[in-house]
Chains A and B, each alone.
Chain A
Amino acid sequence: MILKKSMIRTLKENKFQYAGVILLLLLAVTLYVSLSMAVTTLEERNARFTEDYKQETLHFVPSERIDASKLEEWEETFDITLETRSYYDADLDGSVLRVFSQTEEINRPYIAEGSNPEDDGEIAVSSVFAEKNDLHIGDTLEISGEPVEVTGFVYLPDYIYMLEQMTDLISDAEKFGIATASDRTMDQWADQSQIEITGWSRDGEVPEGFMEAVRTETTILQFVEAGDNPRIQFVDTEIEGAKSMNNTLPLFILALATAMVLLLMRRRIDMQRKEIGTLLALGFRRNELLRHYLGYAWVIGLSGTVLGLAAGAGLSVPLSDLYANYFNLPALSMFDFNPMVLVIAFILPLVLMLSVSAWGIHRALKVEPLTLLRPKEVTVGKKSWLERLPLLNRGTFIHRFRLRLLIRNKARSLYIFLGVMFSTVLLMFGFITFNSMDKLVETTYEDIMTYDYAVYYQSLNTENPEEGSDPFTRSEVKVKGNDTKLTGYGIETDTPYLNLLAEGEKLNPELEEGVVLSTPAAAVLDAAEGEDITLTNSLNDKEMTVQVAGVADVYIGSQIYLPREDFNEFLGYPNESYSAVWQTEKPERGESVYQIEDKQKVIDSFEATSGATRSAVIGMAVFAVVISVIVLTLLTHLIVEENSPSISLFKVMGYHNHEVSKLVLSVYTPVVILSYFISIPLAGLTLGQLMNSLVEQTGFILPTDVSWWMAGTGFIVIMLTYALSLALSKRKLKQVSLQEALKKQQD
């Protein structure tokens, strides 16, 4: 159809507007495709690695070595595969390299590069640790005074997220890495090695009665199911979290893009109403014109989706590698193609664009040709109730004119409101996350946990702890009527090493009345102060109903704190016993020590990741600004276009450009400001909800308070964005000719 040419020229003439919408769509599709593809790749790699390299179902740490014959007996009884593995934590100049003995059945190592360490004095290290510590294949390391050669890079399926301690939150590959070595190499460190038993069952479930059977044989220092192991689980959590994020954010941008298309289409049709009337009068059928105008939606939809698909697919490869590095997953595949992602990314925006446009166009085409040929009816003398408010009839002409324009363009105001809201929420998400990391470290690790080291013993201690040490008992407990497992801490209520603070108030004395929960535990249990909960444990059949005396600002981990004596009694331990101590002095790693937790290392991990967080925040801010600039500029351009006869008339009458701009363009400033301030609490609330919904998987909650600096910085960013959009639209305003008013008179 010859009208196609008209469409192409109109697109060229208004390239800025259409390119803006295409860009919005492109961003939505790129984001969706790249993230979804990366997550698909991550999921696929995780699934293959887990299955092919036999990821453990469980592991436990016995207080003493268990005979092979006993293991065989259990294997037969419980239809489970068991394997003994030893590991040694090597101190490498401030970083820890956990060297594992090589296994053949469970958690089999994957050598990505180089060769498997088979000879004495050979090890394979994780590639991300090697990269961070500038290690290469062939390099020699000194471990406990013995030289060892790096023969390759290794991945272990039970260390996909490389955490030194189970309680750690963030993996820091510079400070902690894993390695594998042959048994002969491991023998050098035998006296300082830890032993753990790994288990694998066909159905991935821990056989019933297995733990009890082990417990009758030995004291279990730690028993971890794969589902509770953050080194294994975190990747699944990330996949789940990313999946919901992958859909939400692009969907919102898609909705914005669709709204913009609808706006543009309605504007186009409004501008071309006379042309449409002429074409109808000439004999064009309505469906022919519908098809013609749908061409705009096709061009926008196709360009945005095709470019977005290409960009998204391209971006997903480095993104997948980034993910893989973050999770220490081998690149078993380069790119895992998910046809559904492509289909959704292609079809959904197109269907949405076309149906919304068709609706808008159809409405306009229902009008009789004669009506379209006439100038649009001017609703002079019709004032809405809002316009009749006395407030709007006061002040200078400029003031009244601006207010009326605002009221008469409610749809524009709404779009601007939503655009600013979207950008503000995105911006605040970044700021809150950034700030929360600091606050989380500050509150949890500095104000609440005042110890420097936690030393966990191989078995229960009953002797008086050394001076400067404060004893506590740690054990896992379950809450009746809930599948959630909590880490129980039996503490001295007057311990100097744990200040259970809640908004500055110390809750330790409240332990006399009941238990104190960490914030994630309270969120998981949906429990509040004053409520009763019943605890159970797997050591005996005892139950204990306790009252929640308070919720402390401990943002990491699902912990429950109670007096040590009560906890020991509940667990069936001797009254004075303890399994660990807190202290400020650096402990020696003796034979009785099972694990040492260095708080500074945990803090350092957070500090190390703050660089990445900062980049993410900057990225998020840039993204928010880009979206905001596109939406606001598109809208202000449309405002200029719609008001061009008035603008022209103002110019004819002698108004200066800046005065006209004040009259027509900056009208929406109050909307921008209002939207911004409404969006701030909304962002905090939304992020809080998101955190609560993910707490079961993540095990932590970020404090979502909005501080003054965030509100101030965000305001500056949003207002600068708005100013940029206005500046861009002012150029268009300047281009409105004086003849425009006369032309309109003729029409």
Chain B
Amino acid sequence: MAIFAEKVTKTYQSGEVTVKALREAGLTVPDNKIVTILGPSGSGKSTLLNVIGGIDRYDEGRIEVDGQALDLLKDRQLTEYRRNKIGFIFQQYNLIPTLTVEENVEVGRELSSDPFPMEDILGKVGMFDKKDKFPFQLSGGEQQRVAVARALIKNPDILLCDEPTGALDEETGKNILKLLKYVNDTYGTTILIITHNQGIGEMAHQVIRMSSGEIVETYENETLVDPEQVTWS
């Protein structure tokens, strides 16, 4: 599912300070691709992801997902948009601590009219054997795999990943990247990954660089590096 953004502006008011998080940012994400958004902290990556994901609204400009302008959607329609099209993966996993692995994934499945089979997804993320464990019984990598499964099971068109490997070590992080690559290859899911790990850009079809709320560079990789081989920084 393609994403198109043009001159998107977003300003935050934090106390007496006004922060311009996005300054006329624009991008085009082709269907079924992996796109990495790189940039230092405060560059506006997360804000861009949030407005694309419909959990935040932008002030000016235009974002269209599959031809649908997000600024025209009311709150209720925005919820339906997230429910039907978007899958979120957070840096801190955000699993529900009182639910088991399987139940956490079920939270995602409940939202979809056409979910993937539970066993398949748990198998794919390698968590089938630990489906009855609670989040506190899992390592960080395992928790992130559950978060991926939760986002994935509802068969979203777009997967938005906010620093998915930010809290993980290299080995675990690369495993998550492999999983994302697999999802993209197998289901054709468009994946947006925001990260400040430059190396992750090597596995993406398209790389977007941001700085101070602006998109300063966009390029496409001619050859994609296998997630195992990305330079970890």
Closest to B147 in A: A278
B94 touches A275 (CB 8 A): yes
Which candidate, B98-106, B125-133, B220-228, is the interface stretch facing chain A?
B98-106
Q: Is A368 an interface residue (CB 8 A)?
A: yes
Q: A278-B90, A283-B79 are in contact. Are A369 and B55 (CB under 8 A)?
A: yes
Q: Is A175 an interface residue (CB 8 A)?
A: no
Q: Inside 8 A of B55's CB, which chain A residues have their CB?
A: 280-281, 368-370, 373
Determine the distance from Cα of A411 to Cα of B83 in the docked complex, in whole angstroms.
37
A282 touches B56 (CB 8 A): no
Q: A9-B98, A274-B94 are in contact. Are A279 and B107 (CB under 8 A)?
A: yes
What is the CB-to-nearest-CB distance from B66 to chain A, in angstroms, rounded to a whole number? 16
Q: Is B150 an interface residue (CB 8 A)?
A: yes
A280 touches B79 (CB 8 A): yes
B98 in complex: contacting residue of A1, A5, A368, CB < 8 Å: A5
B107 in complex: contacting residue of A13, A274, A282, A373, CB < 8 Å: A282
Q: A1-B110, A5-B99, A370-B55 are in contact. Are A284 and B83 (CB under 8 A)?
A: yes
Closest to B160 in A: A281
Q: Is B96 an interface residue (CB 8 A)?
A: yes
B56 touches A6 (CB 8 A): no
Q: Is B173 an interface residue (CB 8 A)?
A: no
Q: Is A693 an interface residue (CB 8 A)?
A: no
Determine the distance from Cα of A746 to Cα of B154 in the docked complex, in whole angstroms.
29
Q: Inside 8 A of B108's CB, which chain A residues have their CB?
A: 282
Closest to B108 in A: A282
Q: Is B92 an interface residue (CB 8 A)?
A: yes
What is the CB-to-nearest-CB distance from B111 to chain A, in angstroms, rounded to a whole number? 5
A370 in complex: contacting residue of B50, B80, B98, CB < 8 Å: B50
B53 touches A275 (CB 8 A): no
B83 in complex: contacting residue of A9, A10, A278, A283, CB < 8 Å: A283
What is the CB-to-nearest-CB distance from B42 to chain A, in angstroms, rounded to a whole number? 14
Q: Is B88 an interface residue (CB 8 A)?
A: yes
B96 in complex: contacting residue of A1, A6, A368, CB < 8 Å: A6
Determine the distance from Cα of A285 to Cα of B110 in the docked complex, in whole angstroms.
12
Closest to A369 in B: B55
Q: Is A439 an interface residue (CB 8 A)?
A: no
Within 8 A of A (CB), among B66-84: 76, 79-80, 82-84
A281 touches B98 (CB 8 A): no
Chain A, interface size category, equals 20 to 34
Closest to B82 in A: A283
**Binary contact track B44-65/A, C-beta < 8 Å → 1, others 0:** 0000001001011000000000
**Binary contact track A3-34/B, C-beta < 8 Å → 1, others 0:** 10110011001000000000000000000000
Q: Which one of A1, A277, A281 has the highest number of Cβ atoms from chain B below 10 Å of its Cβ?
A: A281
A282 touches B50 (CB 8 A): no
Q: Which one of A9, A278, A283, A369 has the highest number of Cβ atoms from chain B below 10 Å of its Cβ?
A: A283
What is the CB-to-nearest-CB distance from B216 to chain A, in angstroms, rounded to a whole number? 24
Determine the distance from Cα of A281 to Cα of B56 in the docked complex, in whole angstroms.
10
A281 in complex: contacting residue of B53, B80, B92, B154, CB < 8 Å: B53
Q: Is B86 an interface residue (CB 8 A)?
A: yes
What is the CB-to-nearest-CB distance from A600 to chain B, in angstroms, rounded to a whole number? 69
Q: Inside 8 A of A10's CB, which chain B residues have their CB?
A: 98
Q: Inside 8 A of A746's CB, which chain B residues have their CB?
A: 92
What is the CB-to-nearest-CB distance from A247 to chain B, in angstroms, rounded to a whole number? 39
A3 touches B107 (CB 8 A): yes
Determine the distance from Cα of A622 to Cα of B154 in the docked complex, in whole angstroms.
55
Q: A369-B55, A370-B50 are in contact. Are A275 and B96 (CB under 8 A)?
A: yes
**Binary contact track A268-292/B, C-beta < 8 Å → 1, others 0:** 0000001101111111111000000
Q: A278-B90, A286-B79 are in contact. Are A370 and B56 (CB under 8 A)?
A: yes
Q: Inside 8 A of A281's CB, which chain B residues have their CB?
A: 53, 55, 82, 88
What is the CB-to-nearest-CB distance from B140 to chain A, in angstroms, rounded to a whole number? 11
Determine the distance from Cα of A649 to Cα of B197 in the docked complex, in whole angstroms.
32
What is the CB-to-nearest-CB distance from A135 to chain B, in angstroms, rounded to a whole number? 65
Q: Is A340 an interface residue (CB 8 A)?
A: no
What is the CB-to-nearest-CB distance from A739 to chain B, in angstroms, rounded to a whole number? 11
Q: Inside 8 A of A286's CB, which chain B residues have their CB?
A: 79
Q: A275-B94, A278-B94, A284-B111 are in contact. Are A5 and B88 (CB under 8 A)?
A: no
Closest to A275 in B: B96
Q: A2-B103, A2-B106 are in contact. Are A285 and B96 (CB under 8 A)?
A: no
A13 in complex: contacting residue of B76, B83, B98, B106, CB < 8 Å: B98
Determine the distance from Cα of A49 to Cα of B20 in the docked complex, in whole angstroms.
83
What is the CB-to-nearest-CB distance from B217 to chain A, in angstroms, rounded to a whole number? 26
B83 touches A2 (CB 8 A): no
What is the CB-to-nearest-CB distance from A683 to chain B, in angstroms, rounded to a whole number? 44
Q: Inside 8 A of A368's CB, which chain B residues have their CB?
A: 55-56
Determine the distance from Cα of A274 to Cα of B151 in the docked complex, in whole angstroms.
16
Determine the distance from Cα of A275 to Cα of B106 in the docked complex, in whole angstroms.
15
B111 in complex: contacting residue of A278, A282, A747, CB < 8 Å: A282
Q: Inside 8 A of A9's CB, which chain B residues have their CB?
A: 98-99
What is the CB-to-nearest-CB distance from B25 to chain A, in angstroms, rounded to a whole number? 17
Determine the distance from Cα of A283 to Cα of B85 in the docked complex, in whole angstroms.
9
What is the CB-to-nearest-CB distance from A373 to chain B, in angstroms, rounded to a whole number? 8
6 closest Cβ pairs, A-B complex: A283-B83, A9-B98, A283-B82, A278-B94, A6-B98, A2-B106
Q: A2-B103, A5-B103, A286-B79 are in contact. List 19 more A-B contacts (CB 8 A).
A: A1-B110, A2-B99, A2-B107, A3-B96, A13-B98, A278-B90, A278-B94, A281-B53, A281-B55, A281-B82, A282-B88, A282-B150, A283-B82, A283-B111, A283-B154, A368-B56, A370-B50, A373-B55, A373-B90
A-B contacts, 16 of them at CB < 8 A, read: A1-B110, A3-B99, A6-B99, A10-B98, A275-B94, A277-B94, A278-B90, A278-B94, A282-B82, A282-B111, A283-B83, A285-B76, A286-B79, A368-B55, A370-B55, A373-B90
